[in-house]
Each structure stands twice: as C-alpha cells, then as structure tokens.
Amino acid sequence: MTPRIPDETRAGILTWFRAEGQRWLDELPDTVAAVAAAWGFTPTDTLTGGAVSFVTGGTLRDGAEAVLKVAPLDEDNRHEAAALRVWDGRDGVRLLQYDIGRNALLLQRLRPGTALYDAGLEWEEEARIAAPLIARLAVEPPPGHPFRLLADDARTWRIDGTLRALARRLIATAPDRSVLVNRDLHALNILRDGDRWRMIDPKPLVGDPAFAVGAMLRDRRDELGGRPDYEALLRRRLEILCAGTGDDPWRVAAWAACYAAELDEPAIAASLLRVTASTPSMSRG
C-alpha cells in the first residue's frame, strides 16, 4: 500500500518542518514499508487527525488490528513512546512496537475510536469523563526517566509581569509528588475504546499533577472563548474537573493561565487569570 497522505497532514508537516518535512514526506513510503515488514503489519486505511503525523490502520499477521503512526521527530513527540510505556495501557492507548530511528509507533487500534470531541456530549459531560482519566494517568515516572521537568519548562516560558510572578509561585510551592503529566490532553485526544475512553498522542512532562488538568480546562476555547459567559463556564468546568481529580482548583487555573500565555493566547490567559484571582487555594501556597 502506497501511503495516502491527507492534505492537511502534508500541509502541517511542510509548515512545521519545511525542507526537512519534504524530505521526510519523500522517504515516507520506504519508512512505512520497512516497519510494516519488520512488524508483520499490513496497512489498510489511512486515518485522519494526525496534524503532523502519518497514521494508518491495518492488521498484524495474527489478524489483530493495529495502528501505525510515523512522524518527524521533534521535542513534542520525542518521548511519546516512553510515556506510553510507563502508562502501559493504563487508560492510554497501548504501545506494541517502537522504532526509535524512524520514530514509528505501532499501537493498539481503538474501536470505535470516536473522539470525545465528536461524541455529541455537553462540555460538562466531557469534563466529567476526562477528570478521572487524568487522575488515573497521574503516575510517578520510573527512576532515570527521560522526560523534561515542568518546572524547567515553565522557567523558559515567554510570559511577563503578573503571569511570570504566578509561574514562579507555582514552581516554588510545587507539591512533593511529581507525576507524569500530559500537557496536551483534550477532547480530540480522548478516544472511545469499547465501553471506556483512552488517551492518545501524549506530550509528557514530569511535575505538578494540577498542570495536566489545564488542557481540558482550556479545551474548546475557539468556540467558547468569545462568549460573554466564558469565565462562568471556566469556573464551572474547573469545579467539575477538580471534583474528579482532587487537584487544587487555584493551581489548575493558575497553571492554565500561564500556559495559555506561553501559547500566545492572551485573551484566554486573561480570562483564566481572573478565574485564578477569584479561586481560593486549597494549599498554603
């Protein structure tokens, strides 16, 4: 099967990786053929949704279904496979094989694979589903892990003034327990698998568990961010998420505000900062 690369995937790879991305695209047929042969994988259907990765479903020699994901290696996905190994199917998609040289992952196939974003649920129900998932994924990383530290990353964020001071406070008052956190867990990266939901496409860091809740707090910001009641919606979602995870609502909102600013979302960061200011902290920090 010659890889059929969706137009949006090709465009995303060329936008992010430019000449290197074109070389990667040129080599993709050989890459897919090599790992497919090594793993006994027969590609059958290209899957959409990979903004900067090629994803195809297929079958293994024993007839079991699987998914092959290949992407140009960068800092965002460098430790995706390592994180999936730590979670080892604990509410995340299971990693079956990994080719570090080609940055190719063979994953279990989730059926029906419907994204939480597309499930037709109210945003409050999305938060209720995501919260226990986030809590169960908050596991301690193994000794000698390769993951970046949230505190180190936060010190480099391009934020100023009140938000910079807030980030420093969060780092200084971090809880003793550091866990593996996914900074990109949102409703498009939570898929239905039988009667449960699983996380895909993690962007791992190690640090404050409250940080991992922020992505879901900020989710659907493009469609909700312009509403006059947006901050009320944020407070309600914050309440639901923290009821399910047990995290400090102030820390969740504060991390989300700082990270939104780092991602150049000034209006969302300002809303989250106001929510933070009106949210009491459960801790002394």
Which of the residues 99, 160, 184, 264 is marked catalytic?
A: 184
Q: Is the peptide bond before 112 cis (omega within 30 degrees of 0)?
A: yes
Active site residue 184: yes
- CA-nearest of 166, 250, 180, 165 to 214 is 250
Which class for 58: exposed (0-12), middle (13-18), buried (19 or more C-beta within 10 A)? Answer: buried
DSSP assignment, residue 219? Answer: T
Burial 116-148 (b: 16+ CB within 10 A, else e): bbeeeeebeebbbbbbebbbebbeebeeebebb
Sheet with 54-60, edge to edge strand ranges: 41-47, 54-60, 65-70, 104-108, 95-99
Q: What is the DSSP string of 166-199?
A: HHHHHHHT--S--EEEETT--GGGEEEETTEEEE
The SS3 call for residue 117 is helix
Secondary structure element (H or E) that encloses residue 222, with its range: helix 221-224
Q: Is 113 helix (H, G, I), strand (E, B) or coil?
A: strand
Positions marked active-site: 184
